[in-house]
């Protein structure tokens, strides 16, 4: 497959890159010319994907990393910098879940889901962020629709992904001025080895596909390869640039909308001596009717 962008000289770190969506993302970025650090809890899986990339002429380094462990993350980043260079593209894809009713979950299961899905992403992002800022790079987080609308039997996972959405938006506001974009991609249910149990529990791929507006097969519409193309478009900027760029254009440093600030200045210049502010909802309509008659 030909990738119409050139990422030569860039270094991408993909967590959960040993299988499924992460494997497809790592392969796609390598095809675009990036050096890829394939990070996974399983050394065997990471090595398999990295060797596959090398056999196709790409550059890859397997990294055994437990993202829930800050020390493991730090050691992995040190190896990435030594073998490939500073990270300029960070793909936070690793996650875990349990499929059962919330009342049946154990404390250990809850801790593991939160530690990997949310805290693991925080650990990796915090460790790699100095490199990404220096390279004016990109951060892409795998989020989930379950965080917005909920998901039966996956309450803890949905809660962790909701936290990840908040992290994505907040971090985008922080680093946007440094030239770093932060995007969240929600792939929907994807046919991977890790999601096979959930798909079968939901009645199989064809039944699950009917929950999507365009229907079709889950395996066809949401394959790992299709998901990896979304990450590639985020890297190019052909999707929404990032919530960082949008936030920087809409909001002032004091947290008020820039449009509202312009309206207040206009009101003060034209109607001096009137301390009572007009409602912000009238910003588009202009001054109140009474004020117009006095002009």
Nearest Cα neighbor of 15 from 97, 84, 116, 126 is: 116
Q: How many Å apart are CA 117 and CA 115, to the nearest integer?
A: 6
Query: Which pair of structure tokens corresponds to residue 99?
Result: 């499929």
C-alpha neighbours within 13 Å on the C-beta side of residue 44: 0
Task: Please tell me what DSSP assigns to residue 118.
Answer: I
H/E stretch holding 181:
strand 181-185
CA dist 159 and 164 (Å) reads 9
What sign does the CA torsion over 72, 34, 121, 126 have? positive
Per-residue tokens: 114: 């939160």
Tokens of 167: 């992290």
**Segments of 85-146 assigned E as strands:** 89-92, 138-142
Q: How far is CA 19 from CA 182, 186, 223, 270, in A?
A: 23, 18, 12, 63
Question: Which residues participate in catalysis according to the annotation?
Answer: 157
End-to-end CA distance of the chain: 66
- Strands 89-92 and 59-64 turn out to be unpaired
Sign of CA dihedral 97, 98, 103, 107: negative
Interior angle at CA 44, CA 46 and CA 114, nearest 5:
65
């Amino acid at each position: 497959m030909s990738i119409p962008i050139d990422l030569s000289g860039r270094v991408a770190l993909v967590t959960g890159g040993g299988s499924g969506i992460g494997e497809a993302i790592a392969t796609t970025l390598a095809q675009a010319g990036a050096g890829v650090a394939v990070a996974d809890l399983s050394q065997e899986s990471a090595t398999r994907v990295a060797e596959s990339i090398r056999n196709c002429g790409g550059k890859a380094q397997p990294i055994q990393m437990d993202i829930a462990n800050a020390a493991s993350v730090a050691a992995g980043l040190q190896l990435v910098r030594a073998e490939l260079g500073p990270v300029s593209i960070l793909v936070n894809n690793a996650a875990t879940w349990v499929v059962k009713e919330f009342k049946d979950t154990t404390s250990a299961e809850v801790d593991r889901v939160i530690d990997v899905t949310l805290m693991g992403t925080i650990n990796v992002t915090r460790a790699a962020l100095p490199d990404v800022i220096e390279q004016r790079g990109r951060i892409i987080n795998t989020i989930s629709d379950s965080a917005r609308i909920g998901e039966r039997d996956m309450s803890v996972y949905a809660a962790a992904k909701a936290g990840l959405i908040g992290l994505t938006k907040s971090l985008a506001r922080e680093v946007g001025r440094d030239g770093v974009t932060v995007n969240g991609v929600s792939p929907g249910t994807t046919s991977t080895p890790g999601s096979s149990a959930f798909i079968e529990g939901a009645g199989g791929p064809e039944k699950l596909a009917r929950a999507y507006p365009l229907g079709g097969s889950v395996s066809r519409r949401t394959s790992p390869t299709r998901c990896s193309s979304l990450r590639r478009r985020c890297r190019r900027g052909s999707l929404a640039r990032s919530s960082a760029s949008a936030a920087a254009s809409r909001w002032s440093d004091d947290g008020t909308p820039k449009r509202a600030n312009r309206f207040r200045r206009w009101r003060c210049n034209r109607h001096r001596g009137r301390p009572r502010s007009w409602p912000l909802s009238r910003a588009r309509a202009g001054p109140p009717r009474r004020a117009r008659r006095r002009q």
